Amino acid sequence: MPPLPSSARGAAITGWGRALPDTVVTNADLEARMDTSDEWIRERTGIAERRIGGSTASLSIESGRRALACAGVDPASIDALILSTTTPDRTVPATSATVQHGLGLRCGAFDVNAACSGFVYGLAVANGLIAIGAERVLLIGTDTLSRIVDWTDRNTAILFADGSGAAVVEAVGGRGSLLGWDIDADGSAEDLLFCEVGGHLHMDGKEVFRRAVRIMVDSAEKSLAASGTSVDDIAMVVPHQANIRIISAACERLGIPMSKTALALAETGNTSSASIPLAWFAAADDGRLVPGDLVLLVGFGAGMTAASAVVRWTGAGRP
Ligand code: COA
C-alpha cells in the first residue's frame, strides 16, 4: 500500500481486552484421543495447550466489555462495531449483531472474514471509518475453531482453538498510530485450507507452511516500506500464532530476533482472528510495551490472505 495520506484523520488504540474459554485441552489430552504425542506437537508446532468452549458472540462480548472498560468509554459512544471472525455463530444474522446488542452498543455492526489475517484487516477498516468521520470503533477478533475441527483428525485438531481479543480504536489529533498497512489475498490457493458450510477444516499443512513464510515476509516488508520504517525501528513483532517454526522462519528472513516477538501460541494454539490481539494485548498487559514503541503486526490465513501493519503503541487507557 502507498504511504498514508498526511491529511488522513488519525486513530489510536485506547483500550483493549482478551477472553479465553475456561476449558483447557493439553497435548496429553489429545494424545489420549488420537495417534499423536506431546513431544511431537511441541516440537513441530510450539503448542502445549489450548482453550476451547463458548460461542463467538459470548467470547466477543467478554473481550469487548474489557476493552470498553480499559478505554473508559461509554458503550453508547461507539460509532461502529467490526467483528473479525471465520466462525460466526449463525450464517445470518452476522454475529456482530448479537455482540452489538450484548454490549449495549447503538451503532452499525458487521463481520469481516479474512481468516487468520482478519484482525489486521479489521484494523485497516477501523482506521478507514475514522478517516471518514467515525469517532470510536470497537474492533473484535474472535474465533471458535473447535466447532469446525474434526477431533479425530490429528492434522488439524492439534493446531486450532478458541479465543477473542478486542480493541477500542479512537480518533486522535494528528497522524494517529497506524503508520503503514498492507492487505493481500490469493484466492487461487483456497483449496489449501477450507471448510465447507457445516463441514470440517481441511488443510494441506506442508504447502500452507511453505507459502505462509513467504507471504508474511512479503506483507511485512510492504508495511515497513509504506510506514518509512525499517526492521531496526521495530520494538515488537506480533505474528499470527500458527506455528513457532513459521514464526521463526519469517523472523529470520526479515532479520528480526525472536526476542522481539510476542508469543501466546504455547498456551492458546491457533485462534485465527483472535491470535494477533491475544498475543499483542498479553504483551501489553505484561508491561512489555512502552508508549512510542513501534509494533509490527503480521498475519496470514486461509484464502490465502495476508495482512500487516506498523503501529505506534500509545499506552494504556485514554490519552
Ligand atoms: N502427531 C504425530 N505425528 C504426526 C502428526 C501428529 N499430529 N501429524 C503428522 N505426523 C507425522 C506424519 O505422518 C509424518 O510421519 P512420517 O514421517 O512417518 O511420514 C511426520 O509426522 C511428519 O509429517 P509432516 O506432515 O511432514 O509434518 P510437518 O512438519 O509438516 O508438520 C504441521 C505438520 C501441520 C504441523 C505443519 O505442516 C504446519 O504447521 N503447517 C502449517 C499449518 C498452519 O499454520 N495452518 C494454519 C494456517 S492459518
Ligand 1 atom with the smallest distance to the CA of 160 is 46
For 207-230, the pLDDT digits (tens) are 999 999 999 999 999 999 999 999
* Distance from C-alpha of 31 to C-alpha of 296, rounded to nearest angstrom: 35
The catalytic residue among 70, 127, 240, 251 is 240
User: 307 CB less than 6 Å from ligand 1?
Assistant: no
CA count, 13 A, side-chain hemisphere, 180: 21
CA distances, 25 to each of 32, 33, 92, 162 (Å): 11, 11, 30, 11
40 pLDDT higher than 90: yes
How does pLDDT run across 218-274, given as a tens digit for each residue? 999 999 999 999 999 999 999 999 999 999 999 999 999 999 999 999 999 999 999
Output the pTM of the full model.
0.97
* Full set of structural domains in the chain with CATH: 10-172 (3.40.47.10), 178-312 (3.40.47.10)
Task: Verify whether residue 240 is a known catalytic residue.
Answer: yes
Q: In terms of C-beta density within 10 A (0-12 exposed, 13-18 middle, 19 or more buried), how is residue 274 classed?
A: buried
Instruction: Find the 263 Cα to ligand 1 centroid distance in Å.
Output: 21
So what's the pLDDT on residue 173?
A: 82
Give tens-digit pLDDT for 83-94. 999 999 999 999
Active-site residue, 270 included: yes
Mean pLDDT of 55-81: 97
Which residue's alpha carbon is nearest to atom 40 within ligand 1?
Answer: 205
Determine the pLDDT at residue 265: 98
Average pLDDT, the chain: 96
